[in-house]
Structure formats: structure tokens, C-alpha cells
Amino acid sequence: MNIYLVGFMGTGKSSVGKELAKKKKWQFIDLDELIELQDRRNISDIFAKDGEPYFRKIEKKLLLKVSKEVNFVVACGGGIVLDKDNIKIMKESGMMICLSATADEILKRTAASIHRPLLQVANPEKQIAHLLKMRAPYYAEAEKAIDTTNLSVKEVVNKLLKITAKINPSTLPNYSRKAQD
Ligand code: S3P
């Protein structure tokens, strides 16, 4: 089974995911990076030339591919939860954990980024508030949540290690958590 880190942009999924994978001696994959590699374009270009629905299609296809693997820590893009099928895929093949942060903290952490097309707007503060509100029920689908606002990467990783301690390395693809319980 895999560990899927979901949550809004700037909540630390990639930096935390990388460290968590190192500690657990699991593989790490950043789904956004995988999309860029597969499409040979960066996310901003994909959004600009082909639009968000096209991006979501590749995102879903690659999530499905990764879900066949085992013992992967997967850092997901912030919008992955918008598709019900994606939530089902994650829950069936692993544990979905949500990282969160306050709107102010997200604004601070994402301010310098030019690689997030959804935040390249005149008023990112308003956009963050709007998207957070709209996405709250989707993020609430996660089995566990960690507020990373006042935590270092190391502190979040330690919490995740505790949460995921009971997950044994799996040997079979599509390892079912129910079977383990
Ligand atoms: C998105 C988040 C981004 C990336 C894309 C869309 C979103 O990933 O997938 O720009 O819809 O929230 P990060 O959450 O890793 O920034």
C-alpha cells in the first residue's frame, strides 16, 4: 500500500513526502513532477496551452499507474481530490493523509512561486480563500489530517511516522488495508 499526501498548495506535501520516504525507506514520487516528465512541459505550460481539464486527465492516469505500485510515498497536486475516482483510487490502494495550513501561511509559502497557474491571479489572497472554502469537503475525505502551519518539516514527518507506523511494507499490488485490519 502507498501513502498519499494530499492538501492545498504550499502545505508541504513534497518536502515532507521526500523526508518521510527516506525515513521509511520507501520510494518517493511527486505526481506533479511525473506529469511534467511525461508531458515534457511544465505545469504552467500545460494549463496555458491545453487547460486544466487536460491536466486533470493526465493527473488521473498517472495516479492510477502509481496506485499499482507498493510502498510509495506520493505527494499529490492540490487539486487531485476534486475527482471522486481519485479519492477512491487512493483509499483503495493506500492511506490518504491531508496536510493543511492557514490561508495566511499558504499565501506566505506560495508567494514566490511562479509554477502554480491557479495562483497566478491579480489577487492570490482572495483566490486562496475561495479555493480553500470550495475544497474543504474534498480534503475532509482524508483519513488523517495534520495542520502544518506552525510545524517544521521534521515535526510533520515525525507525526506522519507515528500515524503510518502500523502500515507494514506490502508485497502485493493493490494490497488492501481491510485485509490487514
Ligand atoms: C494544483 C496544485 C499544484 C499542481 C497544479 C494544480 C491545484 O500542485 O498540481 O498547479 O489544483 O491545487 P501543488 O499542490 O503541489 O502545488
Distance from the CA of 78 to the center of ligand 1, in angstroms? 4
Q: Provide CB contacts within 8 A for 157, sequence distance 6+.
A: 16, 19, 20, 23
Which pLDDT value is given to residue 168?
72
CA 116 / ligand 1 centre spacing (Å): 6
The pairs formed by 161-168 with CB atoms below 8 angstroms and a separation of 24 or more are 161/20, 161/23, 161/24, 163/95, 163/97, 164/3, 164/20, 164/24, 164/95, 164/97, 167/1, 167/3, 167/95
pLDDT higher than 60, residue 109: yes
Residue with CA at minimum distance from ligand 1 atom 15: 77
Q: What is the pLDDT of residues 84-95, one digit of tens each?
A: 999 999 999 999
Q: Whose CA is nearest to atom 11 of ligand 1?
A: 79
pLDDT tens readout for residues 152-161 = 999 999 999 9
- Asked if residue 69 lies in contact with residue 27, where contact means CB atoms within 8 angstroms, the answer is yes
Residue 55 pLDDT > 80: yes
CA of 148 to the centre of ligand 1 (A): 17
| Mean pLDDT, range 102-131, rounded to an integer | 95
